[in-house]
Chain A
Amino acid sequence: MMKASREAPAPAPSEEDIIVAQNLSAGYGSKAIWKNATFSVGKGEFVAVIGPNGAGKTTLFRLLLGLQHPLGGNLSLFGAEPKRGSPRIGYVPQHHAVDDESHIESLELVRLGLSGNKWGFNPFLQEDSKTAFDTLSGVGGLELAHRPLAELSGGELQRIFLAEALVSKPDLLLLDEPLSNLDMRRERDLLRLVDEVVRSRDVSAILIAHNINPLLPYLDKVIYIANGKVASGKPEEVFTSETLSALYDIDVEVLHDSRGNLAIVGIEGHHGDE
Chain B
Amino acid sequence: MAFSWNIMADLQQMWAYPFMQHAFEAGTMVAIIAGVMGYFVVLRRSTFVAHAFSEIGFAGAAGAVYLAQAFSIPWLTATYGMLLGSSLGGTAIAMLSRRSSHRDVYVGIVLAFALGIGLLFLSLYTGYATEAISLLFGEILGIAWADVLRTLLFSIVILGGVAILYRPLLFSSLDEEVAEAKGLPTLAIGVAFLLLVAVAVSVAVQVTGVLLIFSLMVTPAATAQHLASKPSRMIAISVVLALVVTWVGLFVSFYEPYPASFFITAIAFLVYVLVRVFHHRIRAPSEHRKDWQDRALVSTKDYSS
Q: Is B147 close to A, CB under 8 A?
A: no
Size category of the binding interface on chain A: 35 or more
The answer to whether B232 and A124 have CB atoms under 8 Å apart is yes
Q: Is A143 close to B, CB under 8 A?
A: yes
- In the complex, the chain A residue whose C-beta lies closest to that of B303 is A140
For B, the interface residue count at a CB cutoff of 8 angstroms equals: 40
Contacts of B170 in A (CB 8 A): 112, 116
Q: Is B293 close to A, CB under 8 A?
A: yes
Distance to closest chain A CB from B221 (angstroms): 11
Contacts A108-B231, A124-B232 given; indicate if A97 touches B176 (C-beta within 8 A).
yes
A84 to B165 alpha-carbon distance, docked (Å): 20
Q: Contact string, A139-174, partner B, CB cutoff 8 A, digits 1/0?
A: 111111011100101011000000011000000000
A148 to B226 alpha-carbon distance, docked (Å): 10
Distance to closest chain A CB from B189 (angstroms): 10
Q: Is B183 close to A, CB under 8 A?
A: yes
Of the listed stretches A4-12, A85-93, A214-222, A247-255, chain B binds A85-93
Contacts A151-B289, A164-B178 given; indicate if A122 touches B299 (C-beta within 8 A).
no
Contacts A85-B182, A189-B304 given; indicate if A121 touches B171 (C-beta within 8 A).
no
Contacts of A147 in B (CB 8 A): 229, 292
A31 to B302 alpha-carbon distance, docked (Å): 49
Of the listed stretches A98-106, A228-236, A263-271, chain B binds A98-106
When A and B form their complex, what is the total count of cross-chain residue pairs whose Cβ atoms lie within 8 Å?
122
The answer to whether B163 and A116 have CB atoms under 8 Å apart is no
The answer to whether B232 and A116 have CB atoms under 8 Å apart is no
A177 to B117 alpha-carbon distance, docked (Å): 49
A96 to B85 alpha-carbon distance, docked (Å): 33
Contacts of B304 in A (CB 8 A): 189, 192-193, 196
The answer to whether B178 and A91 have CB atoms under 8 Å apart is yes
Q: Is A181 close to B, CB under 8 A?
A: no
The answer to whether B296 and A156 have CB atoms under 8 Å apart is yes
The answer to whether B229 and A117 have CB atoms under 8 Å apart is no
The answer to whether A153 and B229 have CB atoms under 8 Å apart is no
Distance to closest chain A CB from B257 (angstroms): 39
Contacts A148-B229, A156-B296 given; indicate if A119 touches B168 (C-beta within 8 A).
yes
Distance to closest chain B CB from A135 (angstroms): 14
- In the complex, the chain B residue whose C-beta lies closest to that of A84 is B183
Distance to closest chain B CB from A173 (angstroms): 12
Contacts of B289 in A (CB 8 A): 151
Q: Is A225 close to B, CB under 8 A?
A: no
Distance to closest chain B CB from A253 (angstroms): 35
The answer to whether A189 and B300 have CB atoms under 8 Å apart is yes
A112 to B175 alpha-carbon distance, docked (Å): 9
Distance to closest chain B CB from A121 (angstroms): 4
8 Å CB contact of B167 from A98, A122, A165: A122
The answer to whether A105 and B292 have CB atoms under 8 Å apart is no
Contacts of B292 in A (CB 8 A): 143, 147, 151
Q: Is B179 close to A, CB under 8 A?
A: yes
The answer to whether A109 and B168 have CB atoms under 8 Å apart is no
Q: Is A256 close to B, CB under 8 A?
A: no
The answer to whether B299 and A96 have CB atoms under 8 Å apart is no
A129 to B177 alpha-carbon distance, docked (Å): 22
- In the complex, the chain A residue whose C-beta lies closest to that of B42 is A101
The answer to whether B167 and A140 have CB atoms under 8 Å apart is no
- In the complex, the chain B residue whose C-beta lies closest to that of A119 is B164
8 Å CB contact of A116 from B167, B226, B234, B295: B167
The answer to whether B229 and A103 have CB atoms under 8 Å apart is yes
Q: Is A51 close to B, CB under 8 A?
A: no
The answer to whether B164 and A120 have CB atoms under 8 Å apart is yes
Q: Is A113 close to B, CB under 8 A?
A: yes
Contacts of B165 in A (CB 8 A): 119
8 Å CB contact of A109 from B167, B175, B225, B228: B175
Q: Is B281 close to A, CB under 8 A?
A: no
Distance to closest chain A CB from B173 (angstroms): 8
Distance to closest chain B CB from A195 (angstroms): 10
Q: Contact string, B274-305, partner A, CB cutoff 8 A, digits 1/0?
A: 00000000000100110011011001101110
Contacts of B168 in A (CB 8 A): 116-119
Q: Is B67 close to A, CB under 8 A?
A: no
Contacts of A259 in B (CB 8 A): none
A143 to B298 alpha-carbon distance, docked (Å): 10
A121 to B168 alpha-carbon distance, docked (Å): 10
**B residues lining the A interface (CB < 8 Å):** 163-168, 170-171, 173-184, 225-226, 228-232, 234, 285, 288-289, 292-293, 295-296, 299-300, 302-304
* Additional A-B contact list (19), CB under 8 Å, known A108-B231, A119-B165, A151-B285: A84-B183, A86-B183, A96-B175, A103-B225, A103-B229, A103-B234, A108-B229, A108-B230, A109-B175, A116-B175, A117-B171, A117-B184, A119-B164, A122-B167, A141-B299, A146-B229, A147-B229, A153-B293, A196-B304
A-B contacts, 8 of them at CB < 8 A, read A91-B178, A108-B230, A112-B170, A116-B179, A119-B165, A121-B164, A140-B303, A151-B289
